[in-house]
Amino acid sequence: MSLAHDHALTLALFCRVVDNYGDIGICWRLARQLQREHGILVTLWVDDLPSFRRICPDVDPGAALQQIHGVTVRHWAGQDGVFTPADIADIVIEFFACDIPPGYITAMAQCEPRPVWFNLEGLSAEEWVEGCHTLPSSHPRLPLTKHFFFPGFTAKTGGLMREAALDEERRQFQADATGMAAFLGQFGVTAQEMASAKVSLFCYPHAPVAALFGAWQGGAQAMTCLVPEGVATEAVEAFLKAPSSAGAVATRGALTVRVLPFVPQPDYDRLLWACDLNGVRGEDSFVRAQWAGRPFIWHIYPQDDNLHHKKLRAFLGRYASGLDSLSALSLCWNGATPADPDPAPLWPAFHAALPELHARADEWQRQMLANGDLTSNMLNFAASLRSSRPG
């Protein structure tokens, strides 16, 4: 179904950075894809430009308004009461219930026709998501309806975000050993490290990294662990016996740990593609690891009352059925096995299962591809809402 309109479609995406980089990471990826692949005029409202700059060095952290890669970026800094219907986009997305300015909502209600309004939710493998995906919610006072849009792992959800060219780019990169060596070489990775088993490591500070380092250090296989600056600092510094700044490196036993700079978002994909195993966290890097087609270990964002353990188990139920070594290490890595908190004894079985995990990564990717991509799915749903409107 096409979006019938007589001008380039406009879209406003509101992003509040709660913490870390996932909120802006997801919104920036979505904004670029909407602009690049669908020709939509996107305005990204974001309240934290310095965080944005970490994943996109082109961001000017002091600019109220800027154009980046074809996307209009506005610093969201308490603007309200300044909006008229002329300011309102055809599609409005609030990321993760971030409460867009009341003045913007009032102006939305004055538009004719009214914009399509989405709340884009966080990713979860839990079953209830299918029942809530695309549900409408009427505004208590204004003639406006918001729809919930859920990313997910089944055809009854919005799917996962994936750029159209991603798979082709990944395949080309992974088939090009020279290009891959040049990519890693810019971070100082040596030929010897390149020839070893490479692991990227992105996790929250409470992951039991030191214990895993111990297992790798004492293992038979040479391993190189590439850690972005600022990640697992305590364990990395204990291993390095030095500050964990980009470029720092040390080898003990079979393990080399090398600190990388925090790289721009497209390079982070390349890092995942170049490694044999990826430690990822949160939401966006977790999804990118799935598109990398390589085994990964997920460190889930911690929530009160261990709600995240339920979410982790829901994902493992879909992904790791029959892959006991993956389930065991994942649960331990995330503190879901308090009686057995040490991941080291689980490593040998996991290591032995890597070929099987590789095959599973490929199979899963094919399964996820069949759900379409989140951005197209959302635009198709927006088109259906627009065409079913009266008048």
Ligand X SMILES: Cc1cn([C@H]2C[C@H](O)[C@@H](COP(=O)(O)OP(=O)(O)O[C@H]3O[C@@H](C)[C@H](O)[C@@H](O)[C@H]3O)O2)c(=O)[nH]c1=O
Active-site residue 283, yes or no? yes
The C-alpha torsion from 281 through 284 and 286 to 289, rounded to 10°, is -130
Residue nearer to ligand X on the CB measure, 19 or 324: 19
- Those residues with Cβ within 8 angstroms of residue 13's Cβ, 6 or more apart along the chain or in another chain: 27, 30, 31, 34, 42, 43, 44, 45, 93, 95
Instruction: Tell me how far apart the alpha carbons of residues 283 and 276 are, in angstroms, rounded to a whole number.
Output: 20
Question: By the criterion CB under 6 A, which residues form the site for ligand X?
Answer: 18-23, 25, 55, 122, 202, 228, 262-265, 268, 281-285, 301
How many CA atoms within 13 Å lie on the side-chain side of 18?
12
Of residues 47, 283, 284, 373, which has the active-site annotation? 283
In the complex, least distance from residue 248 CB atom to ligand X, rounded to whole angstroms: 15
Nearest by Cα to 224 from 190, 180, 176, 273: 190
Residue nearer to ligand X on the CB measure, 268 or 347: 268
Residue nearer to ligand X on the CB measure, 55 or 378: 55
In the complex, least distance from residue 350 CB atom to ligand X, rounded to whole angstroms: 21
In the complex, least distance from residue 281 CB atom to ligand X, rounded to whole angstroms: 5
How many CA atoms within 13 Å lie on the side-chain side of 132?
17
CA distances from 77 to 16, 49, 65, 190, 292 (A): 10, 10, 11, 45, 36
Are 163 and 37 in contact by the 8 Å Cβ rule? The answer is: yes
Residue nearer to ligand X on the CB measure, 268 or 296: 268
Residue nearer to ligand X on the CB measure, 20 or 376: 20
Instruction: Tell me how far apart the alpha carbons of residues 380 and 10 are, in angstroms, rounded to a whole number.
Output: 15
Give the tokens for residue 309.
Answer: 């353990």
Active-site residue 373, yes or no? no
In the complex, least distance from residue 76 CB atom to ligand X, rounded to whole angstroms: 16
Instruction: Tell me how far apart the alpha carbons of residues 222 and 197 are, in angstroms, rounded to a whole number.
Output: 6
Give the N- to C-terminal CA distance of the chain in Å, as an integer: 18
In the complex, least distance from residue 204 CB atom to ligand X, rounded to whole angstroms: 7
Instruction: Tell me how far apart the alpha carbons of residues 14 and 49 are, in angstroms, rounded to a whole number.
Output: 13
In the complex, least distance from residue 73 CB atom to ligand X, rounded to whole angstroms: 16
Residue nearer to ligand X on the CB measure, 20 or 190: 20
Question: How buried is 344 (Cβ within 10 angstroms: 0-12 exposed, 13-18 middle, 19+ buried)?
Answer: middle
Residue nearest to ligand X (CB): 22
Active site residues: 23, 283
